[in-house]
Chain A
Amino acid sequence: MTADTLSPDTAPGAAGDSLGREAWRRLKQNRAAMASLLLLSIITLACVAGPWLTPWGLADVDWNAFNVAPTLEGGHWLGTDANGRDLLTRTLYGGRVSLSVALVATLVSLLIGVLYGAIAGYLGGRADNLMMRFVDIMYSLPFMFLVILLMVVFGRNILLIYAAIGAVEWLDMARIVRGQTLSLKRREFIEAAHALGVRDRTIVTRHLIPNAIGPVIVYVTLTVPKVILLESFLSFLGLGVQEPLTSWGVLISEGTDMMQTSPWMLLVPSVFLALTLFCLNFLGDGLRDALDPKTR
């Protein structure tokens, strides 16, 4: 599924191609990744715009339709829950929460992780040792303990849940960026560029950043599904968003309770969640192949 069978006319190294454009061209040849990108855009668009288009609101009760299975008649395409609320509408609203949690938490972890890792790798020596020791210590603390404590301290504010999740997800990112910075600092091609008299700024923009950004972007596409899963997991335990708001995790948790009598309540949000995670993983794989300098 990779782009390693390049045809000659799209061979890399054609003059004047920026790395970004080349990566995009390689990505475009990866059908699985492009299909995932398309499907992801559709899901995102549906979650953003959908709730305005459906005739039902998030907490609207249809007194004529409790526990209705998916049907084209009556307007409840994906059925209703035990309280007569339209499941499609609720799933789309839930998607807004789940997707925005993922976006904000990933950005927070990206910001902390990249800064922390780059500083540690750049400083090196004692400071690096100390900073990475702290990361090791954070790794030794049980993850659930940290998440629950942060949520207890910050209350049930949804924005702060985002931040809390991001604040415990940055450890891997910091390690990756530090490793990149460390190894790139003393690689031969950097040395060669120095020897050829390339300016520092050009070395950084042309050689250092493009090589370090690849793993970071790939890791971001892997962090997003991880965060969505984590939010769902917290909601499943009853620690996530509160009624009347909902998320895919909350809906799945409600669906598990009802799965014997109303299986659609479990299946609908699960399918949305699984599709999103599936696409994000495919996209991550595709990006890794497109950005990895070694496969060029």
Chain B
Amino acid sequence: MLSYSLKRLLQAIPTMLIVITIAFFLMRVAPGGPFDGERALPPEIEANLNAAYHLDEPLPQQYLRYLGNLLQGDFGPSFKYKDFTVTELILQGFPVSLEIGGLAILLALVIGLPLGIAAALRRNSAIDYAVMGTALAGIAVPNFVVAPLLALVFGVLLGWLPAGGWNGGALPNLVLPVLALSIQQIAYIARMMRASMIEVLGSHYIRTARAKGLSERLVVWRHAIRPALMPVVSYLGPAVAGIITGSVVIEQIFGIPGIGRYFVQGALNRDYTLVMGTVVFYGALIVLLNLVVDLIYSALDPQIRYDD
């Protein structure tokens, strides 16, 4: 398994290289530059700035310079957040996003999976309709509606929890953003788990298990749940990458210092180094999580083996 993981990570290097190349050149051909502001800079100052950041060099040379720095772990300085390197920005923001996103995913799994399983086991019952109706509502109401409503009701009207702010990650400040992030995930996971559970329960080996007289509890727990988890696991791979890299909406509404905003602001401000930093970071996370998904797959399904 270790050698398989190593091989997969090595295979990811060319993919990452292509991702970096595409992002680098797309960003540079987009109109505008990092020093466009409300007021145009005097040409001499702009020339000096360009020289300081090596933006006056030919594009291929800049590209090679960036790759060289990247190999040494240097993401470069941010253009917009003066005095900060991209590495500093990401290292400061990521723990915050990871904490909120990780808790939201955990909450979604703890609530969504049992709901989905219960709905599948009592298909077309009142429980099933209640769960699926709620799940649909969770999908239909976007988080930029849910988040301000939560802040209004629990933060302002009832005053139970702070309506915003981070406060160093104190527990009361975590509740609302985690809730707002997880509602949609709960809905997705419950729906997906119900659908795959229904499919598994209709398969031949479940009929066999029932035919040989296993109790319903054993059938469900020993034979049905493990394979039914697989679609959820493969959904979670990219979903986790998206959620732990922060949500710009949640960060904006609750005033949370995560990294979600860098994805949007970096591209909008043509903060070249910051954008590249987020792209590399996100790409690496995707690669890593896809590997984790495949490893979990082999744990769930004995037919899948990766020993070579």
Chain A residues in the interface with B (C-beta under 8 A): 1-2, 133, 136-137, 139-145, 148-149, 152-153, 225, 229, 232-233, 236-237, 252-253, 256, 259-260, 266, 270, 273-275, 277-278, 281-282
The answer to whether B144 touches A232 (Cβ under 8 A) is: yes
Partner of B23, one of A145, A274, A275, A282: A145
The answer to whether A152 touches B264 (Cβ under 8 A) is: no
Partner of A140, one of B19, B27, B145, B268: B19
The answer to whether A233 touches B22 (Cβ under 8 A) is: no
Given known contacts A140-B286, A142-B278, is B144 in contact with A149 (CB within 8 Å)?
no
Question: Which residues of B1-27 are within 8 A (CB) of A?
Answer: 15-16, 18-19, 22-23, 26-27
Partner of B144, one of A225, A253, A260, A274: A253
The yes or no answer to B31 lying at the interface (CB within 8 A) is: yes
Name the distance in Å between B237's Cβ and chain A's nearest Cβ: 10
Question: Which residues of B136-163 are within 8 A (CB) of A?
Answer: 136-137, 139-142, 144-145, 148-149, 152, 156
The answer to whether B144 touches A281 (Cβ under 8 A) is: no
Partner of B282, one of A1, A140, A233, A274: A140
Given known contacts A140-B283, A142-B279, is B26 in contact with A149 (CB within 8 Å)?
yes
The answer to whether B142 touches A141 (Cβ under 8 A) is: no
Partner of A281, one of B15, B31, B139: B139
Given known contacts A259-B148, A260-B152, A282-B136, is B275 in contact with A145 (CB within 8 Å)?
yes
Of all chain A residues, which has the CB nearest B32? A152
Name the distance in Å between A176's Cβ and chain B's nearest Cβ: 14
The yes or no answer to B79 lying at the interface (CB within 8 A) is: no
Given known contacts A149-B27, A229-B142, A274-B140, is B156 in contact with A260 (CB within 8 Å)?
yes
User: How distant is the Cα of A96 from the Cα of B279 in the complex, in angstroms?
Assistant: 34
Partner of A137, one of B19, B27, B141, B264: B19
User: How distant is the Cα of A282 from the Cα of B135 in the complex, in angstroms?
Assistant: 12
Give 1 or 0 for each of B225-252: 1 = CB within 8 Å of chain A CB. Answer: 0000000000000100010010011000
Chain B residues in the interface with A (C-beta under 8 A): 15-16, 18-19, 22-23, 26-27, 29-32, 124, 129, 132, 136-137, 139-142, 144-145, 148-149, 152, 156, 238, 242, 245, 248-249, 253, 263-264, 267-268, 275, 278-279, 282-283, 286-287
User: How distant is the Cα of A275 from the Cα of B142 in the complex, in angstroms?
Assistant: 12
Given known contacts A139-B286, A145-B267, A270-B141, is B30 in contact with A278 (CB within 8 Å)?
no
How many cross-chain pairs have Cβ atoms below 8 Å apart between A and B? Answer: 105
User: How distant is the Cα of A143 from the Cα of B238 in the complex, in angstroms?
Assistant: 11
Given known contacts A149-B26, A149-B27, A270-B141, is B267 in contact with A144 (CB within 8 Å)?
yes
Contacts of B23 in A (CB 8 A): 141, 145
Given known contacts A148-B267, A237-B248, A266-B148, is B19 in contact with A141 (CB within 8 Å)?
yes
User: How distant is the Cα of A232 from the Cα of B136 in the complex, in angstroms?
Assistant: 18
The listed residue with most B CB atoms (<10 A of its CB), out of A142, A232, A275, is A142
Given known contacts A142-B279, A144-B267, A259-B148, is B18 in contact with A137 (CB within 8 Å)?
yes
Partner of A236, one of B129, B139, B144, B267: B144
The answer to whether B142 touches A273 (Cβ under 8 A) is: yes
Of all chain A residues, which has the CB nearest B198? A2
Name the distance in Å between B241's Cβ and chain A's nearest Cβ: 9
The answer to whether A136 touches B15 (Cβ under 8 A) is: yes
User: How distant is the Cα of A143 from the Cα of B263 in the complex, in angstroms?
Assistant: 9
User: How distant is the Cα of A156 from the Cα of B22 in the complex, in angstroms?
Assistant: 23
Of all chain A residues, which has the CB nearest B156? A260
User: How distant is the Cα of A274 from the Cα of B149 in the complex, in angstroms?
Assistant: 14
User: How distant is the Cα of A120 from the Cα of B26 in the complex, in angstroms?
Assistant: 25
A-B contact pairs, 20 of them (CB 8 A): A1-B129, A133-B15, A137-B18, A140-B15, A140-B19, A141-B23, A142-B279, A143-B242, A144-B263, A145-B279, A232-B144, A233-B142, A236-B144, A252-B142, A259-B149, A260-B156, A266-B145, A266-B149, A273-B140, A274-B141
User: How distant is the Cα of A273 from the Cα of B140 in the complex, in angstroms?
Assistant: 8
Top 3 A-B residue pairs of the complex, sorted by shortest distance between their CB atoms: A277-B140, A148-B267, A278-B140
Contacts of A233 in B (CB 8 A): 142, 144, 249
Contacts of B32 in A (CB 8 A): 152
Name the distance in Å between B27's Cβ and chain A's nearest Cβ: 7
| Extra inter-chain contacts (7) besides given A1-B129, A145-B23, A278-B136, CB under 8 Å | A153-B31, A225-B139, A225-B140, A233-B144, A237-B248, A277-B140, A277-B141
Of all chain B residues, which has the CB nearest A153? B30
Contacts of B132 in A (CB 8 A): 1
Contacts of B282 in A (CB 8 A): 140-142
Name the distance in Å between B294's Cβ and chain A's nearest Cβ: 13
User: How distant is the Cα of A259 from the Cα of B155 in the complex, in angstroms?
Assistant: 13
Contacts of A253 in B (CB 8 A): 144
Of all chain B residues, which has the CB nearest A226? B139
Name the distance in Å between A275's Cβ and chain B's nearest Cβ: 8
The answer to whether B264 touches A237 (Cβ under 8 A) is: yes
User: How distant is the Cα of A256 from the Cα of B16 in the complex, in angstroms?
Assistant: 39
Contacts of B279 in A (CB 8 A): 141-142, 145
Contacts of B268 in A (CB 8 A): 148, 152
Name the distance in Å between B72's Cβ and chain A's nearest Cβ: 22
The answer to whether B144 touches A256 (Cβ under 8 A) is: yes
The listed residue with most B CB atoms (<10 A of its CB), out of A143, A144, A225, A237, is A144
Contacts of B19 in A (CB 8 A): 137, 140-141
User: How distant is the Cα of A149 from the Cα of B5 in the complex, in angstroms?
Assistant: 34
The answer to whether A232 touches B137 (Cβ under 8 A) is: no
